[in-house]
Amino acid sequence: YPPMIETELLLNSSGLPLYHYFLTYDGWRNIGKFTSGSIFRNSPGMSHADDLFYLFYQSFIPAWFEMEMINKMTTLWTNFAKHGDPTPEISELLPRRWLSSSKEAPQALIIDKDLSTIPLWHRESLKYWKDLYSKYRKK
């Protein structure tokens, strides 16, 4: 929830392009699940900081069976660093643009086997936390 609030605050104050994402890819580099014991091992989805295992070399995890996701993520991050735009052009690897969010249409990229976009406040649980925060935060 806090990253969505931060995104909204920046959208309302900066005027700069802002890119938000949800990594939902469930692969072999989702280390949190494998190191947490049997409780979460068979649970779907990602855990905190699993994106780092796709962005940075890990000698203890073979890369060959995750190369497409590794290439996809490192290309998005490298493009952003070089061009200020994660998808300056469409390619076979990145077949859709990752458009920046706007105040009028805050959105996020879903990074999975296929890329897609969704509204930033897409889940009922996120809407619940937003309403709760708005109601009880210190002003």
| Residue-range domain boundaries for the chain | 2-136
The per-residue pLDDT for 112 is 93
pLDDT, mean over the chain:
84
SS3 of residue 125 by DSSP: helix
| CA contacts within 13 A on the Cβ side of 101 | 24
pLDDT digits (tens, 9 = 90+) for 106-132: 888 999 999 999 887 776 767 788 888
pLDDT confidence bin for 68, thresholds 50/70/90: very high
Q: For residues 59 and 90, what is the distance between their CA atoms, to the nearest angstrom? A: 31
* Alpha-carbon distances, residue 15 vs 83, 84, 114, 115 (angstroms): 18, 14, 29, 25
pLDDT digits (tens, 9 = 90+) for 80-112: 999 999 999 999 999 999 999 888 888 889 999
Q: For residues 42 and 44, what is the distance between their CA atoms, to the nearest angstrom? A: 6
Collect all residues with Cβ–Cβ distance below 8 Å to 98 and sequence separation of at least 6.
19, 21, 76, 85, 86, 87, 109, 115, 117
Task: Go through 61-86 and write b for each residue having 16 or more CB atoms within 10 A of its CB, e for each that does not.
Answer: eeeeebeebbebbeebeebbeeeebb
DSSP state of 25: -
pTM over 0.85? The answer is no
The per-residue pLDDT for 125 is 67
Residue whose C-alpha is closest to residue 107's, from 21, 1, 15: 21
pLDDT confidence bin for 73, thresholds 50/70/90: very high
DSSP state of 117: E
